[in-house]
């Protein structure tokens, strides 16, 4: 993955459209980009992140940051105990055991919605898009 200003790009190639497209995963906001070549794709990635950060600044909001990998969950104490016992039995820490359980759950196929549209970032009711000619800020 390519990184720019702390944001990582997840990139795919659409053979039918002969187009690279990408997004920034692991944040609550939506940042997308596309390009016909590697150089164009990289520039679109940088432009989209810059547009997103600029839009956040103009709206006076803090930009979303990639997830840290730390989160707190609340479960029934009995479930907590069962999970800890299973982790111990497996010779694993509870954190490692939970990470494996989450990974296992994520490996199950889940239908995904196809994303269509142009490059850009979305915050609330505003969208930043990048057409072939220029970037445009438009209400969503």
pLDDT (tens digit per residue) in 64-79: 887 778 889 999 999 9
Rg, Å, the chain Cα set: 19
Q: Which residues pair with 21 in a beta bridge?
A: 12, 34
H-state helical runs in 3-126: 38-59, 77-89, 94-107
pLDDT tens digit sequence for 102-128? 999 988 877 665 444 444 555 544 444
Strands lying side by side in the sheet with 126-130: 2-4, 7-14, 19-23, 30-35, 119-123, 126-130, 135-139
């Amino acid at each position: 993955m390519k990184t720019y200003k702390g944001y990582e790009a997840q990139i795919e190639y659409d053979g039918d459209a002969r187009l690279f497209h990408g997004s920034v995963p692991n944040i609550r906001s939506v940042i997308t980009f596309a390009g016909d070549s590697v150089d164009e794709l990289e520039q679109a990635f940088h432009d989209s992140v810059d547009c997103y950060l600029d839009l956040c600044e103009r709206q006076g909001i803090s930009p979303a940051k990639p997830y840290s990998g730390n989160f707190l969950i609340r479960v029934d104490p009995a479930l907590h105990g069962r999970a800890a016992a299973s982790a111990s039995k497996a010779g694993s820490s509870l954190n490692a055991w939970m990470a494996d359980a989450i990974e296992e759950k994520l490996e199950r196929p889940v239908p995904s919605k196809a994303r269509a549209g142009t490059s850009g970032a979305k915050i609330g009711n505003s969208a930043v898009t990048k057409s072939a000619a220029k970037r445009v800020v438009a209400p969503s």
